[in-house]
């Protein structure tokens, strides 16, 4: 069992206080208790459903919270899936605040049974909705190691999500990121320590579920020690049963004990837990029924990761994949590659006797019970007039800003290089993005620096920038007295890596070799430093958002301090927990 970290009596008292008085403005408190009235509604509803309607409840389809023309193809398709196919849920992706809330209302009015609306709110609602309160990723919470911030992030996620008609956060990520080469989890994870992952994820779940939004622990049984993006292909999780118990499964056990409402399966093959070679957890009775339901005693909703991802579609057609997921023990199938075919195949599997109807009934009962816990039988639409008083409020922005600032991690400061406030001499800024079509990724970073140093020179580059132009940018930079390099590489599905462009790695090495004062800021993976350990100063900001860039500049110039600690090890350089403290307005070497 991983060694538990003590947060102290004061932290426990504070957390207890946080559990009180946090209901969304204008909404009654909702801790997702299944009331007798809700239980009766779920039972009566199930009793009156046809087999076709039951199977429809097990399907959730994709929706985007953007403007749709009433007679447009996208709207007509959504209306058909909800009204005629009778799907039980929708998963919302990119959108804006008003459009998301309007569309959830519209689809709910099309549905005979209330929809369970979900979204990947890993960084709060802003993870999918432009205009919502933007939080840093979970790894930044690992750097701050604050249960208070994790709880507040969960609370605000619930308040804003429910205001827009979203009921289930497909979060938190409970994966333990022990593999620096992981291309898809990385900063989405709290870090590499199973106990810290469990502790902070649990605080997020408490904040979210005590304010009326269900949470989903993902990606069971653990996606942190892989090098494959399951959006592209099936990943394999190696390790024996003892190792899996100690690392991957530990946070899921803690979250189940904390009452997390749902668990998401990963498209991961786990040889130590499933004897069938190459079978993903999503399709594995050994993992979902025997382990998760049986030995781990999880009684909530099992949802699949998106069934249109390569980790499934490269193995099976949509219909057969849906049947095998249901056979394995999944309750709700998210985003089948072909929803109509998934429903048809599931119907045939029951009619042929392959899947007994009582198995379908068990899943649908869990789905209806969760809808009852969420109060959807009483009210399934939201008040659009409330949005401006809830989304992005001052209270929410206060906690988000605290999360960004407290996570900033000063890994190296030899010289010292920081703080920059009051320093004379010329300053050059290089903004280097390893992503395509992201030339101005560091625009906010440069703008904030120019507010403080109007004479600073700057250059931008992205993955398509001509190598000669990058070389010339470095030549200009090394003529300055001090150099700031901002590095960007988005964590993005189907990209295959979060690593840096080799040309940009060489640019940092050349800048370091010049002997000039050099500070490098990672607005992404903390592991970048492994590529250029000779850099004298290195800061981890964990994310490239405008809020992260502003927070980083404030700290670089000594207006705020550095307090974050690495939640992961940097191989061959620094261990987890390392970080230099540098108070605001401090001069001299950090300790």
Q: Are residues 154 and 281 in the same domain?
A: yes
Indicate whether 291 belongs to any domain.
yes
CATH code of residue 429: 3.40.50.1700
Q: Rounded to an integer, what distance in angstroms lies between the CA atom of residue 360 and that of residue 343?
A: 12
The tens digit of pLDDT for each residue in 541-558 reads: 999 999 999 999 999 999
Q: Is the four-CA dihedral 241, 245, 251, 253 of positive or negative sign?
A: positive
Is pLDDT above 80 for 532? Answer: yes
**What is the pLDDT confidence band of residue 230, given thresholds at 50, 70 and 90?**
confident
Does 139 share its domain with 250? yes
Q: What is the largest CA-CA distance in the chain?
A: 80
Task: Say whether both 337 and 415 belong to one domain.
Answer: no
139 near 149, Cβ under 8 Å? no
Residue with tokens 């849920």: 89
Q: Which residues pair with 269 in a beta bridge?
A: 236, 280
Is a pLDDT exceeding 60 seen at residue 91? yes
Q: Which domain holds residue 156?
A: 117-358
Mean pLDDT of 208-228: 95
Is 419 within a domain? yes
Residue 492: the pLDDT is: 80
**Which comes out higher in pLDDT, residue 424 or 581?**
581
Q: Is the pLDDT of residue 18 over 70?
A: no
- Judge whether 76 lies within some domain: no
Query: What is the Cα–Cα distance from 475 to 205, expressed in whole angstroms?
Result: 49
- CATH at residue 341: 3.20.20.300
Tokens of 428: 């050059």
Count of domains forming the chain: 2
Q: Cα-atom radius of gyration of the chain, to the nearest Å?
A: 24
In sequence order, the 6+-apart residues with CB closer than 8 A to the CB of 164 are 65, 97, 100, 101, 104, 125, 129, 132, 382, 387, 391
> Among residues 589, 527, 590, 519, which one has the least CA distance to residue 556?
519
| Domain termination site, one of 295, 328, 358 | 358
At 30 the pLDDT is 59
Q: Which of 331, 358, 385 is the last residue of a domain?
A: 358
At residue 227, the pLDDT reads 87
Going by the DSSP 8-state scheme, the letter that residue 377 receives in this structure is T
- In terms of domains, do 350 and 412 share one? no
In this structure, the dihedral spanned by the alpha carbons of residues 381, 384, 388 and 391, taken in order and rounded to 10 degrees, is: 20
3-state secondary structure of 92: strand
Pair 227, 139 in one domain:
yes
Element of type H or E holding 367: helix 357-373
How is residue 259 written in tokens? 């009452």
Q: In whole angstroms, how far apart are CA 527 and each of 27, 146, 314, 361, 533?
A: 43, 22, 30, 47, 11
Q: Cα–Cα distance between 234 and 223 in angstroms, integer?
A: 11
Query: Token pair 């507010």 is at which residue?
Result: 451
User: Do 316 and 169 have their domain in common?
Assistant: yes
Are 278 and 155 in the same domain? yes
Residue 52 lies in a domain: no
Do 338 and 415 belong to one domain? no
Residue that is written with structure tokens 């800061």 in the block? 539
* Residue 12 belongs to a domain: no
Domain membership of residue 420 (yes or no) is yes
Please name the residue that has the structure tokens 């199977």.
55
Q: Active-site residue numbers?
A: 231, 305
Mean predicted lDDT score pLDDT of the chain: 93
User: Do residues 135 and 284 both lie within one domain?
Assistant: yes
Inside any domain, residue 102: no
The answer on 316 and 433 residing in a single domain is no
Using pLDDT thresholds of 50, 70 and 90, give the confidence band for residue 424: confident
411/484 Cα distance (integer angstroms): 15
Query: Which residues does 429 contact at the CB level (< 8 Å), separation at least 6?
Result: 442, 445, 446, 449, 456, 457, 458, 459, 477, 483, 484, 485, 486
**Could you tell me if residue 283 is inside a domain?**
yes
Domain boundary among 358, 386, 415: 358
Q: What is the pLDDT at residue 353?
A: 98
Between CA 254 and CA 528, with CA 234 as vertex, the angle to 5 degrees is 75
Residue 232 has what pLDDT?
84
Question: pLDDT tens, 317-344?
Answer: 999 999 999 999 999 999 999 999 999 9
DSSP 548-588: HHHHHHHHHTTSS-B----SS-BTTTB-TT--B-B-TT--S
Average pLDDT over residues 467-482: 97
User: How would residue 15 be classed by pLDDT, with cut points 50, 70 and 90?
Assistant: very low
**Burial zone of 115 (CB within 10 Å; 0-12 exposed, 13-18 middle, 19+ buried):** buried
pLDDT score of 497:
86
The verdict on 190 and 324 lying in the same domain is yes
Check whether 583 has a pLDDT greater than 80. Answer: yes
Mean pLDDT calculated for residue range 552-580: 97
Half-sphere exposure of 374 (CA within 13 A, CB side): 30
Q: 299 and 413, same structural domain?
A: no
Q: How many CB atoms lie within 10 A of CB 588?
A: 8
What number of other Cβ atoms are within 10 A of residue 276's Cβ?
11
């Amino acid at each position: 069992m991983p060694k538990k970290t003590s947060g102290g009596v004061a932290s426990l008292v504070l957390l207890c206080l946080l559990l009180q008085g946090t209901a969304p403005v204008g909404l009654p408190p909702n801790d997702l208790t299944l009331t007798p009235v809700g239980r009766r509604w779920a039972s009566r509803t199930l009793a009156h459903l046809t087999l076709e309607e039951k199977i429809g409840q097990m399907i959730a389809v994709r929706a985007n919270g953007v403007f749709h023309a009433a007679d447009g193809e996208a709207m007509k398709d959504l209306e058909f899936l909800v009204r005629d196919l009778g799907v039980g849920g929708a998963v919302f992706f990119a959108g804006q605040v008003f459009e998301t809330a309007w569309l959830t209302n519209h689809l709910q009015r099309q549905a005979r049974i209330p929809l369970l609306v979900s979204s990947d709110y890993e960084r709060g609602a802003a993870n999918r909705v432009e205009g919502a309160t933007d939080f840093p990723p979970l790894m930044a919470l690992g750097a701050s190691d604050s249960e208070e911030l994790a709880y507040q992030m969960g609370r605000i996620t619930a308040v804003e999500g429910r205001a827009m008609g979203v009921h289930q956060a497909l979060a938190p990520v409970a994966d333990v990121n022990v593999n620096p080469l992981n291309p898809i989890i990385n900063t989405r994870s709290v870090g590499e320590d199973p106990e810290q992952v469990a502790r902070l994820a649990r605080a997020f779940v408490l904040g979210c579920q005590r304010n009326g939004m269900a949470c989903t622990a993902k990606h069971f049984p653990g996606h942190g020690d892989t090098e494959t993006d399951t959006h592209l292909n099936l990943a394999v999780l190696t390790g024996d049963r003892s190792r899996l118990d100690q690392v991957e499964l530990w946070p899921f056990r803690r979250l189940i004990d904390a009452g997390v409402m749902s668990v998401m399966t990963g498209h991961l093959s786990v040889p130590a837990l499933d004897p069938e070679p190459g079978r993903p957890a999503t399709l594995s009775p050994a993992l979902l029924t025997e382990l998760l339901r049986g030995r781990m005693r999880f009684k909530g909703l099992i949802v699949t990761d998106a069934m249109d991802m390569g980790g499934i579609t490269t193995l099976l057609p949509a219909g057969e994949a849906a049947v095998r997921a249901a056979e394995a023990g999944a309750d709700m199938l998210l985003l089948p590659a072909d929803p109509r075919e998934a429903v048809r195949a599931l119907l045939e599997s029951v009619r042929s006797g392959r899947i007994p109807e009582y198995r379908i009934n068990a899943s649908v009962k869990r789905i209806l019970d969760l809808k009852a816990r969420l109060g959807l039988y009483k009210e399934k639409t939201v008040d659009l007039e409330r949005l401006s008083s809830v989304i992005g409020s001052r209270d929410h922005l206060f906690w988000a800003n605290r999360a960004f600032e407290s996570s900033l991690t000063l890994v190296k400061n030899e010289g010292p290089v920081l703080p920059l406030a009051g320093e004379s001499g010329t300053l050059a800024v290089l903004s280097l993005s390893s992503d395509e079509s992201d030339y101005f990724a560091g625009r906010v970073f440069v703008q904030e620096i120019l507010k403080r140093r109007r004479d600073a020179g700057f250059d931008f580059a992205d993955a398509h920038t001509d190598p000669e132009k990058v070389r010339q940018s470095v030549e200009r930079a090394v003529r300055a007295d001090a150099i700031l390099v901002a590095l960007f590489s988005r964590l993005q599905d189907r990209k295959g890596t979060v690593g840096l462009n080799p040309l940009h790695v060489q640019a940092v090495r050349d800048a370091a070799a010049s002997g000039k004062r050099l500070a490098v800021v990672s607005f992404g993976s903390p592991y970048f430093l492994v590529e250029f350990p000779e850099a004298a100063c290195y800061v981890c900001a964990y994310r490239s958002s405008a809020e992260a860039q502003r927070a980083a500049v404030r700290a670089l110039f000594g207006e705020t301090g550095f307090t974050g600690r690495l939640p992961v090890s940097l191989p061959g350089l620094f261990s987890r927990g390392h970080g230099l403290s540098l108070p605001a307005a401090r001069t001299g070497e950090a300790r």
